[in-house]
A and B are shown apart, each in its own frame.
Chain A
């Protein structure tokens, strides 16, 4: 008995080759799900006809059009998902991930205007950015925005992270010291600020404090 190997949808079958079989290739591969090709010469003409119908131009064209329209639908779904993800930055992120980490994932890919938009929202006390570690996101911001966020932190009485100070302009700190020694910012927590000052500003500050202490006596 001779057997012929037939592969349909990745599965291998073996069929008996009978005399008179009209077979061109000993191995037949068909990836269509519901089809099984028969090359048995004793097959009746109706089944032969059905395979001819299946592979007819019209059916192939119809199947192709269905495939194309399903791809279009998928493309629309993907583009909607991408738009939503970039617009509502945190909507698709897991709830357990904190705001700073979520921001850090997307900041490298954002343009300057978007990053400036984040700075503006922080300055307006947007709730969404309430718990953000400003020092972590400052590397991506302009000096102007960094200075503004630093001054806001001082004004709110929040802890100044030493990491923040690297991104604040020396001019910003100098201006603060000048205002302090002129008596314009009496509520400024200068003890928190002085470790970050340059030598010139430290000297200015300490001379001012020495003078103040002399007057106290």
Chain B
């Protein structure tokens, strides 16, 4: 998954390096200044053709433009800061970034928590301290994770 907050930051950074205003760059791309502004703050996503045009204007590869070769740095106290939320969740469940899940769960929305819990349930993520996780879950999340079989969970702790 592509982190479009990072891509937007990159577009803004390159635009300033090339000393272009938003209007000037938008004119080159045949889009409105507002559309470019949305790309730069990560609220909307450029089309593939627009991205390839940007690569030509800034003379960089699409890998660099999309930050494919860069490692993401996540602040454990604010895991979503500077990144697209879905991107961070995807990185967590695919184990590309390691976070202490019980201690960052509070930063996630209920839907994001379910995504992470589903990955834990499917064995895609391992938790060091299950008890620490369980005490951070709501009753329905606990039921979702354990299927109502707390006995099985206790067995695995032994």
Inter-chain contact A203/B68, CB cutoff 8 Å: yes
Query: Which residues from B are CB-within-8-Å of A202?
Result: 2, 66, 68
Inter-chain contact B118/A167, CB cutoff 8 Å: yes
Nearest A-chain residue to B61, judged by Cβ = A206
Q: Which of B27-35, B45-53, B98-106, B126-134 contacts A (4 or more CB under 8 A)?
A: B45-53
Nearest B-chain residue to A142, judged by Cβ = B122
Interface size class of A (residues with CB under 8 A): 20 to 34
Interface size class of B (residues with CB under 8 A): 20 to 34
**Known A139-B114, A197-B1; contact A206-B89, beta-carbon cutoff 8 A:** no
Inter-chain contact B48/A209, CB cutoff 8 Å: yes
Inter-chain contact A139/B52, CB cutoff 8 Å: no
Q: Which of A35-43, A70-78, A89-97, A187-195 contacts B (4 or more CB under 8 A)?
A: A187-195
Query: Which residues from B are CB-within-8-Å of A162?
Result: 86
- Chain A nearest CB, measured from B81 CB (Å): 19
- Chain B nearest CB, measured from A188 CB (Å): 12
Inter-chain contact B143/A195, CB cutoff 8 Å: no
Nearest B-chain residue to A135, judged by Cβ = B111
* Residues 173-217 (chain A) with a chain B CB within 8 angstroms: 190-191, 194-199, 202-203, 205-206, 209-210, 213
4 tightest CB-CB pairs across the interface, nearest first? A139-B114, A191-B47, A166-B115, A206-B62
Residues of B near any A CB (own CB < 8 A): 1-2, 4, 45, 47-49, 52, 62-63, 66, 68, 86, 89-90, 93, 111, 114-115, 117-118, 140, 143-144
